[in-house]
Amino acid sequence: MSTPAICFIINSIKTKQTSFEKEAHHVFLTPKLIFRYTLYKGHGIELAKTEIESGCDFLIAVGGDGTVNEMVNGYMLASPKARKKVILGLLPKGTGNDFARSIFAKKGLAQLYNSIKNKHISPTDICQISFTNPAGNPQQRYFINIADIGIGANTVQIVNNSKKRLGSSITFLLAILKSFVGYKHLEVKISSPSYNYSGKIVSACFANGKWFGSGLGIAPHASLNDGKIALVVIGEVKMRTFLAKLPSLKKLTKIKHQKITYQKVEYCKIEPISEKCPLEADGEFLGYLPAEVRIYKHATQFLTSEK
């Protein structure tokens, strides 16, 4: 049996190059380690696609949800024949690390090595979202954790523009509080074969994973491999009511409220009724509605530490 080639797609801002490579060689004890560092936004997409088509066996994102998102987009842009042979993984080193919670990815290289050695692999769905980018043009991206519109997208914009000196949890909490200041309920239309909604919202989430916002369990009913989008619609709820429910989200508990709905769909279309409505996916601001979300069941194999 040949030695597998393991490629790391590394967020260069979060990881010190020399020390990481030294530790990785010490843990893995194999010459087939490849290190690729992202130098600008979107670079991880290019690196992932190139390494997959070059024949790597394992592709590991080293960073946060944004780094995972870029790896996944590169994976889906690679040829189906090449990506079929590749197993994805994650070494969480980001601000939120929310997808890591759903896939049970651990922070240590030793745990990652054990997942590879013991073949702890789970079939995992990937979502696709079509939207309007900031330039006003139609665009398409993939995401593996959660996309949302409303207060979550506003929060992401604030977090991404902050220096994050206070740690992930406090950074996200402060961003949520800032988002509520002057927030106006958006009016949207959500359409799917099994569920429809029209009205004002605080937020609407389209989830594959369970957590976002650095540990808020917004979608307790989500599963990474059931071929369904876990839809959460938070309607015209008062801001103080929503803030009071944040502790429930930390506990991954459904919020009992007549204007908060949990559904599962395979496809949905989201249209703005009144004003411009921002959206984000995997912690990255993408653009605006209208949007369409669909899911590809078992689109990839992902390393997990759950077993």
Render pLDDT for 63-114 as a digit per residue (tens, 0 to 9): 999 999 999 999 999 999 999 999 999 999 887 789 999 999 988 999 999 9
Say which residue, 46 or 4, is predicted with more confidence. Answer: 46
Whole-number pLDDT of residue 268: 97
For residues 103 and 120, what is the distance between their CA atoms, to the nearest angstrom?
A: 11
Whole-number pLDDT of residue 141: 98
Structural domain includes residue 110: no
> Which of these three, 94, 111, 134, is where a domain ends?
94
Whole-number pLDDT of residue 208: 98
Whole-number pLDDT of residue 178: 65
Q: Are 9 and 59 in contact (CB under 8 A)?
A: yes
Structural domain includes residue 108: no
Q: Are β-strands 87-92 and 58-63 bridged in parallel, bridged antiparallel, or unpaired? A: parallel
Q: Are residues 137 and 273 in the same domain?
A: yes
**In whole angstroms, how far apart are CA 206 and each of 30, 125, 145, 147, 283?**
40, 13, 9, 5, 13
> Which of these three, 71, 94, 117, is where a domain ends?
94
CATH of the domain at 60: 3.40.50.10330
Beta bridge partners of 281: 147, 284
Q: Are residues 131 and 47 in the same domain?
A: no
Q: Is the pLDDT of residue 233 over 90?
A: yes
Q: Are residues 134 and 243 in the same domain?
A: yes
Whole-number pLDDT of residue 247: 79
Mean pLDDT calculated for residue range 176-203: 84
pLDDT confidence bin for 48, thresholds 50/70/90 = very high
Structural domain includes residue 193: yes
Q: Name residue, tokens 């967020």.
A: 11
Whole-number pLDDT of residue 202: 86
Specify the number of domains making up the chain. 2
pLDDT digits (tens, 9 = 90+) for 139-171: 999 999 999 998 777 666 666 555 655 555 566
pLDDT confidence bin for 10, thresholds 50/70/90 = very high
For residues 119 and 112, what is the distance between their CA atoms, to the nearest angstrom?
A: 10
User: Mean pLDDT over all residues of the chain?
Assistant: 88
Domain range for 290 is 126-299
Q: Are residues 274 and 202 in the same domain?
A: yes
Task: Return the closest-CA partner of residue 148 out of 177, 190, 112.
Answer: 190
Question: What type of residue sits at position 101?
Answer: R
Q: Are residues 89 and 132 in the same domain?
A: no
Q: Are residues 145 and 274 in the same domain?
A: yes
Q: Are 26 and 46 in contact (CB under 8 A)?
A: no
Q: Are residues 179 and 68 in the same domain?
A: no
Q: Are residues 20 and 135 in the same domain?
A: no
pLDDT confidence bin for 248, thresholds 50/70/90 = confident
Question: What type of residue sits at position 76?
Answer: M
Structural domain includes residue 134: yes
Q: Are residues 22 and 135 in the same domain?
A: no
Q: Are residues 282 and 145 in the same domain?
A: yes
Torsion 183-263-257-216 (CA) sign: negative
